[in-house]
């Protein structure tokens, strides 16, 4: 019999290989590799317990088994697949007996476990690779989300936060009247007085006692987010070891807007925007009560929307509150609301006492005697220091300089501003290494960014979510619109014009150029109308009318008015219906010539049933379209009936095949895959990648059949001999590139171009640097921002509000004080 120490050896060997790979990659090591290493280390610890006989049935089921499933699913090492325990090969289990410690079970060929004690673990060991692909994908997505929450919030914010410098235990008080206890309508509870919790009480214990239904209140800077993230750390640890526990996810409520969302829809949108998780997975978690939302910053919701937000949270709590729900808010902002949250328990974080402040200052590694003396004699400034945030800012800003200037200021707002002035000056003067950006410019860019985040209710800044409405003037917005339409519509229109005009030029040198210009202009107009969301009947009428007019004039001048009318009607109807049907179900943009928000495309995967449905629909539509085009050309060029019939049939088949392939692929694309990395501007790069892949496929799928038919048409129908094959091939190439470009634009290319133009304008007018990622990382090094996954967050809302309040005069003054070293 083989001892589980064999499994331990394999895991250690695999861990060694992974660690070597991580060391070799250095900073370029992907997050998924870090996740594999952490899972291996945890699995080794649990396997050591198994070998010592200390791992219970529940320990195997809820801890070790899930990790082994994840490791296998990743295929981090092939050695575990061939592992034998008790004659059992994990890759092929049959007719075996397994013994681990006091577990002894016989395995039949069918995989059933018979005899022995603790056979539950034996059964789990035998079957842990037999779970379905869907179950393994579910486990993988769960682990990715847990790791993402840990990386974004625990490692990215909590472990490196400003508050983390103040290692003071926060006091907590139960405040029963702050919540509408769900059972109050049935059980009349006696008035519950506020109750101060004993020192040393852990937030996870309060969470458990509340049944996972908790409201966290506190003054600004009191540590609400810090304690919410500490709770998140504990819940994430539980969820990683127990598959029955819900997935804790932190959300910031600042982006919630009235009338647009139920909380479920808002959560799905946030999971997509902030965590890069597709809607299908997110809705499944919510519908199956697998998600535990931790909602930070109710007070950051726009004032007029807060009551509606509370109602949405209460509605969600009724339908999906079983896994738990946590909300945080500033006390004063919550108390003025007209309705209460329907949660079980509310706690209020208590301000620091003078004893806590004094003990912290006395225990500081930096001499804080002058600060302590000043706080002792000035109770007003001392009251500010009762906030952990402000206390930490004071210790950082005034560790080596006089704090007496604070006493000269009367208003708390002025004192806070002076504190942050000193904080910024201190950080700039003491972090002189690698100053890649001028101090004045850094402050100005941060101030502009903070103003926009504050204006649009954002707590986390994601580069890909920068929108055209961030441009401050109507002239800049007009410039943005014009550049997008010229670059997108003009490029596609030019290619389509060449694809149509050049082949026709061989048949009729006079009509070819006009035809190319007309079709190119019509296509450009169609693209621009689609971009600015002029949909439905209006868009179809404009597009169809434009195409119809071009064909009417071109064919009417050469073959007479009746032919021009017939061809114009056929082509105009076909293109008008195509535009109307493609976009007719979408709501029209209410502001004429105004672009919609830049939309990010998610990670894509394939669905064969959807591909088949798309091919059927595309073939039918393409055949009708090809019939119209073939008939129009045959009528317009006055072909003989025999040739006209063949030409029309060939165009029908060519467009049917091309449209079927294209529609099948496009319809097959789904977004239920999760990318394991989350880096700055990932959404834009993902959109760009999608546009290239999809555009190339569509170009080939559409260009080849159209090129073959075009070659036949010009060779046989028009009678230009072998030159027709060359013309047809060139036509297919141009048409394929044009269609591929158009489809690529629709599936991420337009997003990329819009973002590039917007960033260019922001850079040209001096609002943000060109290399925005480098700048944001630079300010993160200076402890102004924190990295949260692919986004960035100010270290505290107070600091964001401070930067947003800076005027040009403030920026000039600060930069001058930094240069002179004055505080």
Structure confidence at residue 59 (pLDDT): 66
> pLDDT of 669-723, one tens digit each?
655 555 555 677 777 888 888 888 888 877 777 666 666 666 665 555 555 455 6
Structure confidence at residue 526 (pLDDT): 66
Cα(675)–Cα(682) distance, rounded to whole angstroms?
A: 10
Q: Is 596 part of any domain?
A: no
Residue-number span of the structural domain to which 486 is assigned: 474-585
Mean pLDDT of 95-105: 39
Q: Is 139 part of any domain?
A: no
Q: Do 159 and 73 reside in the same domain of the chain?
A: no
Cα(571)–Cα(628) distance, rounded to whole angstroms?
A: 7
Q: Do 293 and 397 reside in the same domain of the chain?
A: no
Q: Is 183 part of any domain?
A: yes
Q: Residue 292: pLDDT band by 50, 70, 90 thresholds?
A: very high
Alpha helices in 257-387 (DSSP H): 263-275, 279-287, 306-320, 331-335, 354-362, 369-377, 379-384
Q: Do 453 and 500 reside in the same domain of the chain?
A: no
Q: Residue 442: pLDDT band by 50, 70, 90 thresholds?
A: very high
- Check whether 149 has a pLDDT greater than 80: yes
Q: Residue 293: pLDDT band by 50, 70, 90 thresholds?
A: very high
Structure confidence at residue 675 (pLDDT): 55
Structure confidence at residue 99 (pLDDT): 40
Mean pLDDT of 562-581: 69
Q: Is 595 part of any domain?
A: no
Pairing of strands 791-794, 785-788: antiparallel
Q: Do 710 and 666 reside in the same domain of the chain?
A: yes
Q: SS3 breakdown of the chain: % helix, strand, coil, rounded to 5?
A: 65, 10, 25
The last residue of one of the domains, among 131, 159, 179, is 131
pTM of the model as a whole: 0.63
- Check whether 448 has a pLDDT greater than 90: yes
The two structure tokens encoding residue 328: 């945080």
Q: Do 230 and 299 reside in the same domain of the chain?
A: yes
Count of structural domains within the chain = 5
Q: Is 53 part of any domain?
A: yes
- Check whether 539 has a pLDDT greater than 70: no
Q: Is 161 part of any domain?
A: yes
Cα(444)–Cα(34) distance, rounded to whole angstroms?
A: 36
The last residue of one of the domains, among 317, 349, 381, is 349
Q: Tell me, what CATH number does 236's domain have?
A: 3.40.50
Question: Which element (helix H / strand E) includes 794?
Answer: strand 791-794
> pLDDT of 344-393, one tens digit each?
899 999 888 888 888 888 776 666 777 777 777 777 777 777 888 788 77
- Check whether 341 has a pLDDT greater than 90: yes
Cα(677)–Cα(177) distance, rounded to whole angstroms?
A: 43
Kindly list the strands in the beta sheet with 195-196, ordered across the sheet, starting from the edge strand earlier in the chain: 195-196, 172-174, 345-349, 213-218, 325-330, 291-296, 247-252
Q: Residue 312: pLDDT band by 50, 70, 90 thresholds?
A: very high
Q: Of 705, 707, 551, nearest to 632 (Cα)?
A: 551
Q: Residue 477: pLDDT band by 50, 70, 90 thresholds?
A: confident
Structure confidence at residue 579 (pLDDT): 62
Give helix then strand counts, H and E, for the chain.
Answer: 31, 17
Q: Do 506 and 545 reside in the same domain of the chain?
A: yes
Q: Do 643 and 695 reside in the same domain of the chain?
A: yes
Q: Do 383 and 246 reside in the same domain of the chain?
A: no
Which residue shows structure tokens 């490791």?
Answer: 71
Q: Is 758 part of any domain?
A: no
Q: Do 81 and 214 reside in the same domain of the chain?
A: no
- Average pLDDT of the chain, as a whole number: 74
Structure confidence at residue 626 (pLDDT): 66
Q: Residue 404: pLDDT band by 50, 70, 90 thresholds?
A: low
The last residue of one of the domains, among 585, 611, 635, is 585
Q: Do 516 and 560 reside in the same domain of the chain?
A: yes
Q: Do 262 and 327 reside in the same domain of the chain?
A: yes
Q: Do 200 and 301 reside in the same domain of the chain?
A: yes
Say whether 537 sits in a helix, a strand or coil.
Answer: helix
100/657: higher pLDDT:
657
Q: Is 756 part of any domain?
A: no
């Amino acid at each position: 019999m083989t001892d589980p120490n064999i499994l331990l050896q394999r895991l250690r060997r695999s861990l060694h290989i992974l660690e070597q790979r991580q060391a070799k990659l250095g900073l370029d090591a992907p997050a998924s590799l870090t996740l594999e290493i952490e899972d291996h280390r945890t699995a080794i610890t649990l396997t050591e317990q198994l070998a010592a006989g200390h791992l219970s049935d529940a320990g195997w089921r809820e801890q070790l088994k899930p990790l082994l499933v994840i490791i296998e699913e990743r295929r981090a090492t092939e050695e575990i697949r061939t592992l034998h325990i008790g004659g059992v090969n994990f890759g092929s289990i049959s007719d075996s007996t397994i013994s681990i410690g006091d577990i002894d079970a016989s395995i039949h060929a069918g995989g059933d476990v018979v005899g022995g004690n603790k056979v539950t673990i034996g059964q789990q060991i035998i079957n842990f690779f037999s779970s379905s692909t869907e179950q393994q994908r579910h486990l993988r997505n769960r682990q990715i989300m847990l790791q993402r929450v840990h990386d974004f919030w625990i490692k990215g914010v909590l472990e490196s936060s400003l508050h983390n410098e103040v290692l003071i235990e926060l006091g907590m008080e139960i405040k029963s009247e702050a919540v509408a206890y769900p059972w109050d309508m049935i059980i009349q509870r006696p008035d519950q007085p506020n109750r101060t919790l004993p020192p040393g009480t852990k937030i996870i214990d309060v969470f458990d006692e509340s049944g996972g239904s908790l409201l966290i209140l506190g003054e600004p800077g009191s540590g609400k987010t810090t304690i919410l993230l500490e709770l998140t750390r504990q819940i994430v640890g539980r969820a990683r070891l127990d598959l029955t526990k819900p997935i804790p996810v932190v959300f910031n409520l600042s982006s919630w807007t009235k009338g647009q969302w139920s909380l479920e829809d808002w959560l799905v949108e946030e999971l997509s925007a902030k965590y890069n998780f597709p809607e299908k997975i997110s809705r499944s978690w919510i519908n199956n009560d697998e998600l535990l939302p931790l909602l930070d910053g109710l007070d950051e919701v726009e004032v007029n929307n807060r009551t509606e937000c509370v109602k949405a949270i209460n509605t969600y709590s009724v339908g999906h509150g079983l896994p738990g729900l946590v909300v945080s808010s500033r006390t004063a902002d919550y108390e003025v609301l007209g309705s209460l949250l329907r949660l079980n328990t509310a706690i209020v974080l208590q301000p620091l006492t003078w004893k806590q402040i004094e003990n912290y200052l006395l225990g500081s590694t930096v001499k804080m005697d002058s600060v302590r003396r000043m706080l002792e004699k000035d109770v007003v400034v001392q009251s500010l220091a009762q906030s952990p945030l402000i206390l930490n800012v004071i210790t950082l800003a005034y560790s080596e300089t006089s704090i007496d200037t604070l006493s000269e200021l009367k208003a708390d707002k002025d004192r806070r501003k002076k504190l942050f002035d000193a904080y910024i000056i201190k950080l700039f003067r003491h972090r002189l290494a690698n100053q890649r950006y001028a101090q004045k410019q850094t402050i100005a860019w941060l101030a502009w960014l903070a103003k926009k985040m504050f204006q649009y209710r954002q707590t986390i800044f994601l580069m890909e979510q920068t929108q055209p409405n961030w441009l401050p003037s109507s002239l800049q917005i007009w410039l943005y619109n014009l550049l997008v339409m010229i670059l997108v519509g003009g490029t596609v229109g030019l290619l389509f014009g060449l694809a149509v005009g050049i082949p026709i030029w061989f048949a009729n040198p006079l009509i070819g150029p006009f035809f190319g210009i007309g079709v190119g202009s019509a296509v450009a107009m169609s693209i621009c109308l689609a971009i600015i969301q002029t949909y439905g009947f209006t868009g179809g009428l404009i597009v169809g009318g434009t195409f119809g007019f071009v064909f009417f004039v071109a064919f009417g001048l050469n073959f007479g008015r009746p032919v021009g009318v017939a061809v114009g009607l056929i082509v105009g109807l076909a293109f008008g219906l195509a535009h109307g049907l493609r976009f007719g179900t979408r709501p029209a943009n209410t502001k004429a010539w105004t672009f919609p928000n830049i939309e990010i495309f998610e990670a894509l995967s394939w669905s064969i049933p959807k591909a088949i449905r798309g091919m059927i629909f595309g073939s039918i539509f393409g055949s009708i379209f090809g019939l119209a085009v073939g008939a129009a050309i045959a009528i317009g060029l006055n072909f003989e009936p025999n040739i006209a019939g063949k030409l029309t049939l060939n165009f029908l088949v060519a467009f049917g095949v091309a449209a079927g392939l294209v529609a099948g692929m496009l319809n097959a694309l789904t977004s239920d895959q999760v990318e394991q990395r989350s880096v700055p501007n990932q959404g834009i790069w993902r959109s760009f990648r999608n546009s290239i892949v999809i555009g190339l496929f569509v170009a080939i799928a559409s260009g080849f059949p159209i090129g073959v038919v075009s070659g036949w048409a010009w060779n046989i129908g028009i009678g230009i001999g072998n030159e027709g094959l060359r013309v047809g091939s060139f036509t297919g190439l141009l048409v394929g590139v044009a269609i591929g470009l158009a489809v690529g634009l629709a599936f991420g290319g337009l997003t990329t171009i819009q973002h590039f133009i917007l960033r260019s304008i922001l850079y040209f007018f001096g609002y943000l640097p060109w290399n925005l990622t480098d700048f944001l990382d630079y300010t993160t090094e200076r402890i102004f921002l924190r990295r949260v996954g692919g986004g960035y967050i100010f270290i505290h809302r107070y600091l964001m509000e401070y930067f947003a309040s800076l005027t040009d005069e403030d920026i000039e003054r600060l930069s001058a004080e930094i240069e002179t070293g004055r505080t």
